Amino acid sequence: MSRTPESVWSSVLNIIRDNISEQSFKTWFEPILPVELKNNVLTIQVPSQFFYEWLEEHYVSLLRKTLQRELGADARLEYRIVVENSDVNKGPYTVEYPNYNTGNTKNQESTVPLVVGTQIKNPFIIPGLKKVNIDSQLKSSFNFDNFIEGDCNRLARSAGYAVAQKPAGTAFNPLVLFGGVGLGKTHLAQAIGNEIKRHYGNKTVLYVTSDKFTNQFIDALKNNAINDFVHFYQLIDVLIMDDIQFFANKLKTQDIFFHIFNHLHQNGKQLIMTSDRPPRDLEGMEERLLSRFRWGLSADLQQPDFETRIAILEKKMYSDGIELSRDVIEFVAYNINSNVRELEGALISLLAQSSLNNKEVDLDLAKKIIKNFVKSVSREVSIDYIQKTVCEFFEVPQDQLKEKTRKRAIVQARQLSMFLAKSYTKNSLKVIGKHFGGRDHSTVIHSCQAVQNLIDTDLDFKEQVDEIEKKIQMSIG
C-alpha cells in the first residue's frame, strides 16, 4: 500500500511533537502543509522564506532523523515557499532541501520578495497593515538643525548625514552609533530617519527600541503570529533600532533579529543602531550577530567639550526665545559636563526656578540651583583640572607641562598652574611638584614667586590670571 504525503507528514509530526515544546510545535510545525511524496522525496509547503530559514537552522537534525525513520536512509525533503503578492500571483516557490546522505549542508538560497496583504498583524497596532500606513515612530523635533556638531560627535554626525542623503547607498550599512547616556545617540539616529523621510517620501522608516522589539516578539510567540511579526519588519526600508545592548542574553530575540537583519541588508535596506558601547564590547551577544554589526561603520559620540556645551545651551536658549548672561551660560557649561541631557535639564531647572520665584537668573542664583541639581558641582578642584584649564586658556598641550622644555609659553603655563594649585588645593608643595614631571618643592616655590611678581607688574597678565581664576571658582561653586 503506497503512503500519502499526509500520512508520512502526520507520522513525522507525532515524533517531533514529543521532542519540542508545545508552543514551538504550534508556531513552527502546525502551519506546514504536506504537498507531494515522490521517490522518497517529501515536499512540504511553508508560509515564507523566513519560515524555511528558521526550520533549517533550528530543526534540521530533528527533521532529518524523523524523515529517515519514516522513508529510509535516502529520504529527502523539499520546501515549497508561498509568496503572497497582491499585484502578481507568483505562486509557490520551491527550494530543494539538501540530500542528507551527501553531508552537504549548503542549500539553494533565493531572495523572495514579500508583499504584505491586509491579513498580517502590525505589532505597532496600526489598523489595516499597508506599507504606506506604517508610522515611523519618529519625533519631528529630532533633526540635524538642532543637533550641535563638535569634535565629540563629528564623525558620527557626518556619517549619519551621508546615510540620510543616500540610505543603503554608502559603506555605512549598518551604521552603529555608540556612546554613554545622554550624548545624543537617539537624537542623531532619529534625525537621520527624519531626513530620509524628507528626501525619500516613498521609503518606509521605522524607529523602535530594543525593549519594544523584544516585547512585540514575545507577544507574537504567545499569539502564534511570528510570520506576521517577521513580515512586518521585512517591509521596512530604513530600520532604526535603539539600545541594542538590551538584546544581551536574549537568544531567541537575537535569533529573530538576525534573520530580519539579513533579509533587510541583502535586499538593500538601511540599518541604523545605537548602543551604549562599541560592538566589540557587547556581552551576551551571539558572534554571528556581532559580525553583522561590524559590517558597516561604528561611530562614537563622546562627552561634549566646553565650547560644544556652550553652543548647545545657546541653541536651546535661541529656540526657546530666552536670554541669559554669558557668566551664567559659562557657569552651567563648566559645571555640567557629563552629557547633553543633564545640560539641557539644568537649563530648564534654572529657568523654572527663576519663573516661580520671579527672580532674574544671575550667577548667584545659578550657583545655588545648579549645586542642588548636580551633586558633582560641589567638588574640590584637582591639580589636573587646574592644568587643563590653564592649558585650554593658553592653547598649549597639557602633557608638555611635565616635560623639560624651556619654551616660554609652556614655562608660563606650568608656573601659573603650580601657583593656582598652591592657592586652590590642599596639596603640599612636594605633591604639586610630582604632578609636573616630578619637580621638587623648591621649583614650585620659585614658580609661585615668579607668577606673583608678574601679577604685580603686568596688568595684561593679571587680567589673564583673573579670567582663569574665575573659571576655577565657577567649577568649585
d(CA 183, CA 308): 12
Is the pLDDT at 220 greater than 80? The verdict is yes
Q: What pLDDT, on a 0 to 100 scale, did the predictor assign at position 112?
A: 32
Together in a domain, 333 and 407: no
d(CA 387, CA 402): 10
The CATH number that applies at residue 401 is: 1.10.1750.10
Kindly report, residue by residue over 46-94, the tens digit of the pLDDT: 877 767 777 877 888 888 889 888 888 888 888 887 654 433 333 444 4
Is the pLDDT at 102 greater than 50? The verdict is no
d(CA 414, CA 403): 10
d(CA 174, CA 241): 11
Average pLDDT over residues 273-289: 90
The pTM of the full predicted model, rounded to 2 decimals, is: 0.56
Is the pLDDT at 131 greater than 60? The verdict is no
Q: What pLDDT, on a 0 to 100 scale, did the predictor assign at position 253?
A: 92
Q: Are 432 and 416 in contact (CB under 8 A)?
A: no
Q: What pLDDT, on a 0 to 100 scale, did the predictor assign at position 99?
A: 38
Together in a domain, 39 and 149: no
Flag the least confident range among 28-32, 335-339, 411-415: 335-339
Q: What pLDDT, on a 0 to 100 scale, did the predictor assign at position 133?
A: 63
d(CA 56, CA 105): 10
127 within some domain: no
Kindly report, residue by residue over 313-368, the tens digit of the pLDDT: 887 777 767 777 777 777 777 777 667 777 777 777 777 766 676 767 777 777 77
Together in a domain, 186 and 297: yes
Q: What pLDDT, on a 0 to 100 scale, did the predictor assign at position 360?
A: 72
Residue type, 207: Y
Together in a domain, 409 and 369: no
Together in a domain, 168 and 213: yes
Which is higher by pLDDT, 213 or 326? 213
d(CA 470, CA 476): 10
Q: What pLDDT, on a 0 to 100 scale, did the predictor assign at position 475?
A: 65
122 within some domain: no
444 within some domain: yes
Together in a domain, 213 and 287: yes
pLDDT band of 378, cuts 50, 70, 90 = very low
Together in a domain, 236 and 212: yes
Together in a domain, 239 and 325: no
60 within some domain: yes
338 within some domain: yes
Together in a domain, 149 and 293: yes
Q: What pLDDT, on a 0 to 100 scale, did the predictor assign at position 245?
A: 93
CA distances (Å), origin 341, targets 145, 169, 186, 243, 329? 17, 32, 11, 16, 16
118 within some domain: no
The CATH number that applies at residue 365 is: 1.10.8.60
The CATH number that applies at residue 72 is: 3.30.300.180
Is the pLDDT at 136 greater than 80? The verdict is yes
d(CA 88, CA 92): 12
Q: Considering 246, 269, 301, which residue would you say is the last residue of a domain?
A: 301
Is the pLDDT at 235 greater than 90? The verdict is no
Q: What pLDDT, on a 0 to 100 scale, did the predictor assign at position 1?
A: 56
Average pLDDT over residues 233-251: 93
Percent of the chain beyond pLDDT 90?
Answer: 24
Average pLDDT over residues 416-437: 87
Together in a domain, 155 and 80: no
101 within some domain: no
Together in a domain, 152 and 266: yes
The CATH number that applies at residue 256 is: 3.40.50.300
Is the pLDDT at 393 greater than 80? The verdict is yes
Peptide bond into 174 cis (omega under 30): yes
What's the number of domains the chain is made of?
A: 4
108 within some domain: no
Q: What pLDDT, on a 0 to 100 scale, did the predictor assign at position 373?
A: 56
Range of the domain at 47: 5-96
Together in a domain, 263 and 237: yes
Percent of the chain beyond pLDDT 70?
Answer: 83
Q: Considering 334, 349, 377, which residue would you say is the last residue of a domain?
A: 377
Q: Considering 274, 301, 328, which residue would you say is the last residue of a domain?
A: 301
Q: What pLDDT, on a 0 to 100 scale, did the predictor assign at position 126?
A: 41
Q: Among the ranges 133-147, 245-259, 347-361, which has the highest mean pLDDT value? A: 245-259
